[in-house]
Amino acid sequence: FAPSSVRINYYASDEDNNNLLIRFEADGDKVTEWQWDFGDGQISSEQNPVHAYSKRANYKVAVIAKNSAGCSTVVTKEVNLKLNLLAPNAFSPNGDGFNDTWMPVALKNGDYIFTLIIYDKMRREEVFRTSDKNIAWDGQNTKLGDVFQWRVEVQEQNGEKTIYTGT
């Protein structure tokens, strides 16, 4: 006789531009008690709690919904709080005014403290470095077919650093 149709949803909050503050919502038939496990060692007994995570990561969130007869059901959901950099996988530095420079969109449009480094994949040497969202890589001295790797270190609001990489 476990509660039926228990559902959980989560939403990033826009409060204080803190996308690590997550609002959870749960509903279910005849549920009288809720027990949340946010996947980071923190818990709550509210039906619709708000939780602040301390760092970007993937979290397995579980909620136990119990009815008045003491029967329960568990619902889990993966919560991905990693920053989506929206990094292009190509650009064309040919001076035509379209895709002439390369910079992950989230860095260009956001307010992050970061260091972006571009490496030549074949020679394994650094070809570009910036910490300024207004200075994108212009691909100078590249030729068609060259392959590069990028590495971004982003400082989180809590001071921790997260590293992202790509080709």
CB within 8 Å of 158: residues ≥ 6 apart:
54, 55
Q: How far apart are the first and last CA of the chain?
A: 52
Q: What is the pLDDT of residues 84-132, one digit of tens each?
A: 889 998 888 888 988 899 999 999 998 889 999 999 988 889 999 999 9
pTM of the model: 0.65
Chain position carrying tokens 């970007």: 56
d(CA 149, CA 157): 26
Q: Could you tell me what percent of the chain has a pLDDT over 90? A: 43
For 105-166, the DSSP string reads HHHHHS--EEEEEEEETTTTEEEEEES-TT--B--TT--TT--EEEEEEEE-TTS-EEEEEE
Q: What are phi and psi of 120, to 5 degrees?
A: -75, 120
The pLDDT score that the predictor gives to residue 18 is 58
